[in-house]
């Protein structure tokens, strides 16, 4: 009975957030208190202790450091330079947009930030070169998603934190997050490649070169921010990668045990402030507080669900009711459907990741396959006009006529293409593993 109540609370929290536009995390905190204290007899301290403090600290610290690159214009200037370098190859522009969005997002800007300044640039490119709006929109959207999934970027860090909370070791979480990144990098490239070279989208582009003036060079603050960002990425990635290569080396193990991306990012934030690379107040204001509240609030409610045995019951039901070969596909479909109405980071992954290890253990599946299936499915429908990604692209249209045209294309062409590609990929993973 209590398990059904918690499931209903999760559904109601998502529905209320979607309907009222109030942060889902706030509803989740309220339900955690009511169900935990009055339904399950937990103390207020126990419910408060379910707040995922480590995930909160890591996301806050990393986003604070990366916000300097956003505040001082480093990422936007870098995007302009990367697009400019590809101005003479019209047919490769979709890939230029994709890799530009991926690179900028991987450097910590995050999905929404990258899409917010890449969408207008991409739609302008579509207008001037004849590039399809569908191809351009998918390139910008899925590039921003893929880069954010990088192991040291915003989404990748969240995935790793959720995996560790679900019982995955730090090293395995790093490997699984890397698998998610590679998967979400490969799928869009295959889809964009097929659209450009097999459907005539590439031939439709104008032969004339896209005329654009050369961007201004990076200033002192932007150059230093870029080098500092690259240095942090190298430091954060070097320790776990070296540990994987030399698992028995005591020195490597010691160094890796002392590395924490949240603490490293905090150190680099202090360095950035001392070097005067950005305004402290603007940097703090740029931290995605609403995302933090949503992820941690839903995390509290999921912890209540785990305490009530809900996750175990759902995992057991899925393990007994669905054929083993279909489990990754079902996970992908469920994640895609949930993503139409809620956040991948704030709702879908916190709700589904805790089920992975019990199901994988019971059915003899590789956990990485299920983690990948969830994220691939959830992000497949992110370009729908009802989702945040699709709405950002629509908001970048210059006229109401183009917005109306793009709405139908995103809903009836781009989103279904992404969903089918995700299904095929998850089916492929199932047979490979």
CA separation for the pair 214, 200 (Å, rounded): 30
In the predicted structure, residue 303 carries a pLDDT above the cut 70: yes
Contact 161, 54 (CB under 8 A): yes
Residues whose CB falls within 8 Å of the CB of residue 428, separated by 6 or more in sequence, listed in order = none
The whole-number average pLDDT for the span 287-302 is 86
In a domain, 337, yes or no: no
Contact 62, 106 (CB under 8 A): no
Q: Report the range out of 39-48, 117-126, 346-355 with the highest average pLDDT.
A: 39-48
In a domain, 221, yes or no: yes
Q: What is the pLDDT of residue 208?
A: 46
Is the model more confident about 87 or about 160?
A: 160
Q: What is the pLDDT of residue 258?
A: 87
CA separation for the pair 133, 202 (Å, rounded): 12
Q: How many CA atoms lie within 13 A of 132 on its CB side?
A: 21
**Residue 207 CB neighbours (<10 A):** 8
Q: At what angle do helices 327-341 and 310-321 cross, to 10 degrees?
A: 130
Q: Report the range out of 14-23, 185-194, 202-211 with the highest average pLDDT.
A: 185-194
Q: What is the pLDDT of residue 377?
A: 92
> What's the chain's length in residues?
433
In the predicted structure, residue 110 carries a pLDDT above the cut 90: no
Contact 2, 40 (CB under 8 A): yes
In the predicted structure, residue 193 carries a pLDDT above the cut 60: yes
User: How is residue 149 annotated by DSSP?
Assistant: T
Q: What would the pLDDT profile of 229-254 be if each residue is shown by its tens digit?
A: 889 888 888 888 888 788 888 888 88
Domain count across the chain: 1
Q: What is the pLDDT of residue 175?
A: 93
C-alpha to C-alpha distances, 168 to 34, 259, 409, nearest whole angstrom: 29, 18, 40
In a domain, 330, yes or no: no
In a domain, 433, yes or no: no
Tokens of 87: 């101005």
Q: 146-155, 188-197, 307-316: which range is least confident on average?
A: 307-316
CA separation for the pair 371, 163 (Å, rounded): 9
In a domain, 319, yes or no: no
In a domain, 387, yes or no: no
In a domain, 64, yes or no: yes
Q: What would the pLDDT profile of 344-382 be if each residue is shown by its tens digit?
A: 887 889 888 998 998 888 888 899 999 999 999 998 888
In a domain, 201, yes or no: yes
Is the model more confident about 162 or about 131?
A: 162
Domain holding 151, by residue range, is: 50-287
Q: What is the pLDDT of residue 19?
A: 83
How high is the mean pLDDT of the chain? 84
């Amino acid at each position: 009975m209590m398990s059904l109540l918690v499931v209903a609370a999760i559904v109601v929290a998502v529905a209320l957030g979607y309907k009222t536009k109030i942060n889902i995390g706030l509803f989740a905190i309220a339900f955690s208190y009511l169900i935990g204290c009055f339904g399950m007899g937990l103390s207020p301290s126990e419910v408060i202790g379910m707040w995922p403090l480590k995930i909160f600290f890591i996301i806050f610290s990393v986003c604070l450091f990366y916000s300097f690159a956003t505040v001082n214009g480093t990422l936007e200037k870098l995007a302009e330079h990367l697009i400019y370098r590809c101005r003479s190859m019209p047919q490769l522009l979709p890939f230029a947009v994709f890799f530009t969005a991926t690179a900028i997002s991987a450097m910590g800007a995050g999905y929404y930030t990258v899409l917010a300044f890449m969408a207008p640039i991409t739609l302008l490119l579509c207008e001037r070169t004849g590039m399809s709006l569908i191809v351009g929109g998918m390139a910008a959207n899925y590039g921003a998603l893929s880069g954010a999934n990088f192991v040291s970027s915003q989404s990748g860090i969240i995935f790793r934190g959720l995996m560790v909370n679900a019982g995955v070791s730090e090293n395995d979480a790093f490997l699984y997050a890397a698998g998610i990144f590679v998967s979400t990098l490969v799928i869009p490239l295959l889809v964009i490649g097929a659209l450009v070279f097999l459907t005539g989208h590439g031939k439709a582009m104008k032969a004339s070169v896209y005329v654009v003036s050369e961007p201004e060079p990076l200033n002192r603050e932007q150059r230093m921010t870029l080098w500092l960002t690259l240095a942090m990425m190298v430091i954060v990635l070097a320790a776990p990668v070296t540990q994987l290569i030399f698992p028995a080396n005591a020195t490597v193990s010691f160094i890796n045990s002392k590395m924490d991306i949240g603490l490293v990012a905090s150190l680099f934030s202090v360095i950035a402030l001392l070097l005067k690379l950005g305004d402290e107040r603007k940097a703090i204001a740029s931290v995605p507080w609403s995302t933090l509240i949503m992820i941690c609030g839903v995390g509290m409610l999921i912890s209540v669900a785990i305490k009530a045995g809900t996750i175990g019951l759902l995992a057991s039901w899925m393990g007994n009711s669905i054929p083993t070969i279909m489990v990754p596909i079902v996970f992908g479909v469920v994640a895609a459907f949930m993503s139409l109405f809620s956040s991948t980071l704030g709702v879908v992954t916190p709700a589904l990741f805790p089920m992975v290890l019990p199901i994988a253990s019971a059915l003899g599946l590789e956990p990485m396959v299920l983690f990948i299936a969830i994220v691939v499915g959830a992000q497949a429908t992110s370009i729908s006009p009802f989702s945040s990604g699709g709405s950002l692209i629509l908001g970048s249209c210059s006229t109401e006529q183009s917005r109306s045209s793009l709405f139908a294309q995103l809903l009836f062409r781009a989103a279904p293409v992404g969903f089918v590609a995700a299904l095929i990929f998850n089916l492929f993973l199932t047979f490979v593993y």
